Amino acid sequence: MERYYQKEIECASLEQIRTWQDERLVRQVRHVWDNVPYYRAKMEAAHVAPDDIKGRDDLYKLPFLSKADLREAYPFGLLAEPLEKCIRIHSTSGTTGKRVVAFYTKEDIDLWNDCCARALAAAGAGPEDVCQVAYGYGLFTGGFGLNGGSQKLGCLTLPMSSGNTDRQLQFMEDLGSTVLCCTPSYAAYLAESIHERGLRDKIHLKAGIFGAEAWSEQMRQDIQKSLGIKAYDIYGLTELSGPGVAYECSAQTGMHINEDHFIAEIIDPDTGEVLPEGTQGELVFTSITKQAFPLLRYRTRDICILRHEDCPCGRTHIKMCKPMGRSDDMLIVKGVNVFPSQIETVLLKQGYTSNYQIVVDRVNNSDTLDVLVEMTPEHFSDSLAEITQREKSLVAALKAMLGIFAQVHLVSPKSIARSEGKAIRVIDKRRI
C-alpha cells in the first residue's frame, strides 16, 4: 500500500497547487525585493518590479540567477533574513575559489525535513523502520536532509555519515537497517563489500534512497539486484535546500517535484526561452517558501524533461525525469557532446561496476579521452593478454556509443578515489 507523509499536499488538486504557487511566488518576489539589494538591482536591470508579478504566468519576466551570481554575492549578498534568524549554513563541495553558501532559518529546515520525509514515505518507510543515513554530514546537505526527514517520519535514525565501511556493515547487521540513504556509487561499493564478506543473508534492507550524483537505470537495476532492495532516486541542490526538492515514488517513472515549495521550468540553455512541457532543456527552479536564501529562477544546468501525468501512486505534483546530463559540465571532446552517463551505461552493460573516471586532455592540439574502469573481483586477472582483450572490447563498445575513440584502462578493484562516498567522475586537464 502506498505511504504518504502529507497526503493532502502530495495528492492535492492541480488547481490547489497552482493557487499555492501563485500566492507564494507573489509573496516571495516582494520579500527579495524588500530585503535583498542584489536581487533588486537585477530586477531593476530587467525592468521588472514586484507589482509586475501576479502569479507563475509572470515568472518569465524575472531575471535568471546562476551559480556565478551566488559566488559574486558571497557570503551575505543574497541573504533575505537577518543573520540572527539563521541557524545553519550549508555549502557546495568540490568548488574552487569562492564557495556557494546557503543559509537556513528554523522554518527553512523544518520545511526541508518535511520534503525529505515525503521522499522516505514514498520509498515505503515508516516508524517501524531503521534508516541508515550514509550521506556525508557537515557542510554537505545530504546527511542532514535525510536525517531530518527520517526523524520526522518516526524512523529509528542512524546518522552514520559516509565512509568507514566496516562500521556501516556492523550497524547494518546488528541494528537491522531497513532503509539505506547514500550516494549510488557508495551503495554499489557497500553491495560489493557485503558480497565479499558473505553477509547477504544477515542484511535486511528493503529500500534505498540514492542521489547527489548521476546514475543510470542500469546501475539502479544492479543495485536492486545486489542488495535485494528497491532503489529510489532523489534530487536536490545545496543552493535550493539539498535533497528532497524532488523524489521518486513506487512507480519509479520520474521524480515528483514538491511544487508547494518549488516552481520548475524548462528553458532553452542557449536562449533562455521557456520551453513547453515535455520538451528537453535546462531545469530552472524558483523556491517559493524558503525564507533565508530564496532563489528565483535559478539555473541548475541539469538537462531534463518535465511532465504532468497520472501516477499510480496518487501523487499529483509534476514529475521530472532523471537528469540526462548537464549543460555546463557536459564534455565536448573532438566536437562531440559526451555525457558521463553514456559511458556508465556501456560499462554496466559490459558487466563492470559504476566506478570509473574520465580523464580529458589535449595533446598536440587534439583532444584525448581516457576512461579508467575498476575491474570487479571476477574480472581481475594477472594475465596481460586477457586484460588487453577486455580493454579492446570496451573501446569498441564506447566507440559505438559515443562516436569517438576513447582509450580504456582497466584498474584494480577499489583503486579509484572516492570523496565523501562520491566518486570523482571527470578530470578535465585541458587548458583552452
Round to whole Å and give the CA distance between 133 and 159.
5
Q: Which domains, ranges and CATH numbers included, belong to the chain?
A: 1-327 (3.40.50.12780), 331-428 (3.30.300.30)
For residue 432, the model assigns a pLDDT of 46
Minimum mean pLDDT among 5-19, 299-313, 333-347: which range?
A: 333-347
Round to whole Å and give the CA distance between 95 and 74.
13
Backbone angles phi, psi at 427, to 5 degrees: -125, 115
pLDDT of residue 351 exceeding 70, the answer is: yes
Q: What is the mean pLDDT of residues 3-22?
A: 98
For residue 413, the model assigns a pLDDT of 86
pLDDT of residue 290 exceeding 90, the answer is: yes
Q: Which of 243, 244, 209, 212 is nearest to 227 (CA)?
A: 209
Q: Mind listing the pLDDT tens digit for each residue in 166-218?
A: 999 999 999 999 999 998 888 988 999 999 999 999 999 999 999 987 788 88
For residue 95, the model assigns a pLDDT of 35
Round to whole Å and give the CA distance between 353 and 188.
8
Q: Which three cell numbers stand for residue 342?
A: 553514456
For residue 328, the model assigns a pLDDT of 67
Angle between helices 106-122 and 141-153 (to 10 degrees): 70
For residue 422, the model assigns a pLDDT of 63
Q: What stretches of 138-216 show up as alpha helix (H) in DSSP? A: 141-153, 165-174, 184-196
Q: What is the mean pLDDT of residues 372-397?
A: 89
Round to whole Å and give the CA distance between 268 and 282.
6
Across all residues in the chain, what is the average pLDDT?
Answer: 92
pLDDT band at 96 (very low <50, low <70, confident <90, very high): very low
pLDDT band at 342 (very low <50, low <70, confident <90, very high): confident
Q: What is the mean pLDDT of residues 93-107?
A: 76
Q: Can you say whether the dihedral through the CA atoms of 410, 411, 417, 422 is positive or negative?
A: positive
Count the neighbouring beta carbons within 10 Å of the beta carbon of residue 30. 14
Round to whole Å and give the CA distance between 398 and 247.
31
Q: Mind listing the pLDDT tens digit for each residue in 409-429?
A: 999 888 887 655 566 788 888
In the chain, what percentage of residues exceed pLDDT 90? 75
Q: What is the mean pLDDT of residues 379-394?
A: 88
Which regions of 288-335 does DSSP assign to beta strands (E)? 298-304, 306-307, 319-320, 331-333
Q: Mind listing the pLDDT tens digit for each residue in 77-95?
A: 999 999 999 999 999 754 3
How many angstroms separate the first and last alpha carbons of the chain? 55
pTM, full prediction: 0.83
Report yes or no: 141 and 112 within 8 Å, Cβ to Cβ.
no
pLDDT band at 326 (very low <50, low <70, confident <90, very high): confident
Round to whole Å and give the CA distance between 359 and 428.
6
Round to whole Å and give the CA distance between 218 and 247.
19
In the chain, what percentage of residues exceed pLDDT 70? 96
Minimum mean pLDDT among 21-25, 107-111, 423-427: which range?
A: 423-427
Q: What is the mean pLDDT of residues 59-74?
A: 95
